[in-house]
Every structure is written in C-alpha cells, then in structure tokens.
Amino acid sequence: MLLCSLNRKFANNCKKMERKDPKQQIEESIKQDLRYLELLSHSYPTIADASTEIINLEAILNLPKPTEHFISDPHGESDAFNHVLRNASGYVKRKVNELFGDTLDKAEKKELCTLIYYPEQKLQLVKLEKRDLNEFYRNSLVRLIGVCREVSSKYTRSKIRKELPKDFEYIIEELLHESYSGYGEKKHKYYQMIVESIIDTRRADAFITEISKLIQRLAIDRLHLLGDIYDRGPGADKIMDTLCDYKHFDIVWGNHDIEWIGACAGNRACICNVLRLCMRYGNMSTLEDGYGINLLPLATFAMDTYKDDPCTEFAVRDLIKDGSLDEQTMRMLTQMHKAITIIQFKEEARILDRRPEFGMEGRKLLEHINLEEGTVEIEGKVYALKDTNFPTLIPDSPNKLTKEEEKLMTKIEHSFRASEKLRRHIDCLLSRGGMYKVSNSNLMFHGSVPLDADGQLKEVEIEGKLYKGQELMQKIDRIVRNAFNTELSAEKRRFSTDYMWYLWCGPDSPLFDKDKMATFERYFIADPKTHKEKKGYYYQYNNDEATIDMILDSFDVEGTHRHIINGHVPVKTTKGETPIKANGKLLVIDGGFSKAYQPETGIAGYTLIFHSRGLELMQHQPFRSAEEAIKKGDDIKSAVQIVEMSEHRMYVKDTDKGKVIQSKVENLKKLLYAYRNGLLK
C-alpha cells in the first residue's frame, strides 16, 4: 500500500510539472541553484559583466580544437625528448613548409626551423657565418612573426597574452594580431619601423629567442607524457627540469617512474634497483651530477668486497662501450653493479617477509642457493649457477644484510632522501601525474589493465579488499601518494612504500603484469627458459575490439571516437608489429626512444598528435644529437601515419574543456535571467 501511495504521489508531481509554463520551470530551476548563483554573482556582479563573459565563452567554444601531443617512454633520452618538444613532432616544420613552400628554398626553411628549435645556439653560429647580420635579422624577424601568427591562430588573445614574454609583450601582440593588408602604406611602414627598431636597439637576439620559444609553446596546447621518464638514458633529470618549467602537461606514471618515487620515499629495494640499472648502463651522471647521490660508499664497499671477482655477469652493457669510459671505471662499475644487485635481492626478501599477502614467496631465491654445489633450486628444479662467488651471504641467514651492507644502505638511503632536486622532481610527478588519465575520449595508462583468463577485469586484492579496472587504478594512485602523507601512521606509510616495489615487479601490478621479474635468473642461470617472463592476459586481448570497448566503458570513457593510448611495451617494427590495434581503438606509442631498444624496434619512437582534423601517429628515426641539429640543421626524420581523420573539423565545444565552458555559459545565462527578473539584486 505504501509503495502504491508513493507511486501515485510521484505521478501527480510529474503532472503538475507538465502543467507549468516554461518561465515557471526556469524560475524554479534558478531558485534551486540560487546559492550557487549568489556565489557566481561575486565574480559577475552586473548584467554587463555576465553578458560579456557569455559572449567571450561562446566565441571560445567555436575556436578550432587545440593540438594535443602524446609522448611515451623517453627513458632518460633527454636530447631526443627535448628535440621532439621543440619541433612538436614535426608540426613546426609542417607550418614552415605551408607558409614558405614557394618563397623559400630548402636550405632557408631548414635554417628557419633550426632557429625556432635552438635560437640561442643557432644565433651564435649565424654571427660567425653571416656577413650582413642586419639582413639576416630583418628576414628572420618577419618570418618568425609569420610562423607565430600561424600557430597562435587557434587561441584567444587572452590566452596568447598569458604566454607572451614580458619584455616584448606589447610588441609581439601588436605584430601578431594585425596584418599589413587593408591598412595602406602608413600601416606597412609602422610595422617596418617596429622590426627596424628591434634591430637598431640591439634587441634582435633577445626578440628572436623569445618569439622562437613562444612558437614552441603555442605549437602544443597540451602535452600528455605516458610514463617511463626514468631508466637507462643519462638525462632523466634534464627531462624533469624541462617538465618542471612546462605549463600545460600531465603524466601517467610508468614502472620506472614508480621505482624512483619509491626510492625518494626511502624504499631500499627501489633504491637498489635504481642503482643497479644505472650501473648496468654506465649511467652515473643522473645519480651524481643530476641528484647529488654520493656513490663513493658503494664504490669503496664494492672494490673491497669484490676485488678478486671478475664480475663477468655484471659487465656494463655493450651500448656504452664506445671509449667514453676507461678500463678502470668499467671495472669499478661491474663491481658496484654486483654489490648492489646482491643487496637488492636481500632487501626484496625483507619486504616479502613483511608482506606475505604479495604472494611472491618463491622470489626469495638467495635462500635456495647451495654454495657447496654451486646450484640454485627454483620451482623444484635445480640449476647450475654461472657465478658462485657470494662473499656477503651469511650461511644461516642468506637474506640478512651484513654489518657493512647495512651501514652502506643507511648512507645511500639518506643520500636519496636528502636530495632536494630529486624531491622537487618527484613532487612534480605526484602533482602532475597519476595511474591513468582520461582526456577528450582518450584513456591513457602506461602498462595494462589486469584481466583474467576470460578477458574480463581481474579482481586484485589490496589490504583485504578486491579492486578492478578504474577502482584498482584509483586505489593504487592513493597508495602511492600515501607514502608522502605525514598525517598517516608510520605503518600505513610503510605499506605504501612497500607497495611501490610491488608495482615494479608484482604479478597483478598494472605497471608490470607478468608472472615474475626474472632478474636473478638472467644474471645467474644460463638456461634461457628461466629468463622468460609470461605476460598477463591484457596483452593477449589488447587486439580484441570488444575487450577494448569493455575497458573503455569501465573507465566511463565516452565518445564516438574513443581510444586507449599506452606505452610500456616497445613496438618491434622489424618483426612486423604495428602500434595500431583493435581496429584503431588501441594505440601503443612506445617505439624506442631509448637507444637500447632501437635495434629491436627498428625506429626511435612514436608520438601522437591529436588536432582539430583528427589523429596522426608520427614514427621517428633515431636522433643523432642536438649539436648535429644546430650545426647541420638535421631534424628527426618522421613519417606520418593517419590513424583517424574527421570529416568535420573539431572545435573547443567538442572537447572536455568545451563541456566545462558550456556548463558555465548555462549558469551565467541563469544568472542573467535572475538579474533581469529580480531574483537576484
């Protein structure tokens, strides 16, 4: 009876609403929102203020969609990364060709592009080569203004004004938003005099530098970085320096980024792994020069402990055996490499002793070594060891650190925690980053979304509760941040730092998603079968369109043209692999920025451009060096793959930002109605 009564009451209310006239409905809606509108009225206190803002916002909605730039897995290759940012994956070069295709020859266009990419360095060369410097300044200024006007055409004056350098704010704004045509000879002379005055006052170098950097900023409206800033390349700290000064970007954390976040939080296993990878690739510059990590205690310990050990299995990778390191340094690196690797296995075992819920008991392999026979038992099978020298293994407690190792780790941990620059970079990763990102119908993550054998979202247990899909990503995101939350208990923070190591190598980690991390096997066992790491089910189903749609639905990604964009696994073009999967709904854009991957991938990375006309995938060839680019005008050779082009141009109103603006316009119209009808003063 009660249910029937409620149903009748609801039906009567609906009939009453139907009988109300539109004006009455509007006023009731405004009354419901009156508290919000009162707050809004503080920003727009008059009819004129509200009307002006509506006009401005509705105009913005009809601007072309700005360009988004997707980059994945730079792996510390700062020169290549910075060059791709400077040339916007070829976007700047394309604009130069469109503007000056018939009026400039190939050499002049190349020189102009190089000037935009590296203004300070190029100007130094020009002064040594050019006889008529004023003529060079005159031509360059006019051309740069033309390029800047072209790349700024998608933005409002207000937005451009925020990007302008203070020293030349008025001059650049005047030159950008006016043109010679229609103003006659007087206006033409006016602009000529601005250019001549810049040269006469000896401000040409500064002006060229600032407008070139402005072009770089305006060429990309938003940068999406899909993880693994850190790893084997020598310039991860330089990439982070660039990003910390960058305005419009976001980051999806990669497995190597999480390792560095964990190291900064004091996770000793993460610290060891960071050091091990740097030793493996001879990359001490990031540690010592970049972050001021004191490696002297490790070097001293390693040379003393392994002085008679050839450390054959710990030799520096062939990649850097180019004469840049002398024999003595190479020898020291191999000793440091072995020392920190053994300590890493011990530190990992200590985490597993604390966290049996990780289900990785079988990875405590030091306790399965038979020193007398020189063997190790793994999953019930005995293997001969390639290296049998373990001077720091305590027979009854192989996972326990020696006194010397404990003392060493205390010093190294302090060094990581005390690095102000590292903490600043990690703060940037935390404030701008996360486990995933959804933007304009694109779902971005670094590795995978764990799936079960049936291709459905896998439930993962964390702290006694089950999570899957979007909820799993959100839970992990909170765990990472909790490691730095001083308001939480020490045990809560300890779990968070431990879990960051699990994210590096745990079977159910979205950033790893393999059955095991076979680090021990690759160093100590010859049988290649033991080196194999079986990938999770995501990598079996990621070419299935129905599965990708299911994942997109689970993350509430809407839109006719929606995609997953991720990196992590390099696309091996030499073996016929393609970055475009699931009928174009999944795009894998890790193509090998890292030089270590390039022999396998055959290229030097992918980047993705999403502009008002659609999606373009850029396939890049290896980048030699910034020096070559400046001296010879060499650019990264890139090939364009059209992923998806729209019949109709996209506008701001078609984007996520457009939805926010449209909502604001609707509220401002309500405010306007409230003013005009006396509902608000």
In tens, the pLDDT along 483-523 reads 999 999 999 999 999 999 999 999 999 999 999 999 999 99
> Which class for 302: exposed (0-12), middle (13-18), buried (19 or more C-beta within 10 A)?
buried
pLDDT of residue 354: 95
Give the confidence band of 321 by pLDDT, cuts at 50, 70, 90.
very low
DSSP 344: H
Is the confidence at residue 623, as pLDDT, over 90?
Answer: no
Give CA–CA dist 494/118, Å, rounded: 45
Reference 655, options 149, 217, 218, 222; nearest CA is 222
What pLDDT does residue 6 have?
Answer: 40
Burial class (CB in 10 A: 0-12, 13-18, 19+), 658: buried
Looking at residues 281-296, what average pLDDT do you find? Answer: 93
Taking the CA atoms of residue 164, residue 166, residue 170 and residue 176 in that order, the dihedral angle to the nearest 10 degrees is -20
**Tens digits of residue pLDDT in 584-617:** 999 998 866 767 667 666 667 788 999 998 998 8
Cα separations in angstroms, 518 against 345, 532, 534:
12, 7, 10
User: pLDDT band at 3, cuts 50/70/90?
Assistant: very low
Task: Say if residue 389 is exposed, middle or buried (CB neighbours under 10 Å; 0-12, 13-18, 19+).
Answer: middle
pTM above 0.85, yes or no: yes
Is residue 599 within 8 Å of 573, Cβ to Cβ? no
Residue 573's pLDDT band, with cuts at 50, 70 and 90, is confident
* pLDDT surpasses 50 at 319: no
Q: Which residue has the higher pLDDT, 681 or 422?
A: 422
Residue 126 CA: distances (Å) to CA of 105, 553, 647: 18, 55, 44
Check pLDDT > 60 for residue 223: yes
pLDDT bracket for residue 1 (50, 70, 90): very low
Sheet holding 638-645, edge to edge: 433-434, 249-252, 222-225, 68-71, 606-611, 614-620, 638-645
Query: From the centroid of its chain, how far is CA 645?
Result: 25
Which stretch of DSSP H or E encloses residue 375?
Answer: strand 375-378
Taking residues 524-548, what's their average pLDDT?
96
Other CB atoms within a 10 A radius of the CB of residue 33 amount to: 14
Residues in the chain: 681
Average pLDDT taken over every residue of the chain:
89
Cα distance between residue 409 and residue 116, in whole Å: 46
The dihedral over CA atoms of 551, 506, 336, 411, expressed in degrees to the nearest 10, equals 100
- The whole-angstrom separation of Cα 227 and Cα 211 is 30
Tokens representing 153?
């055409």
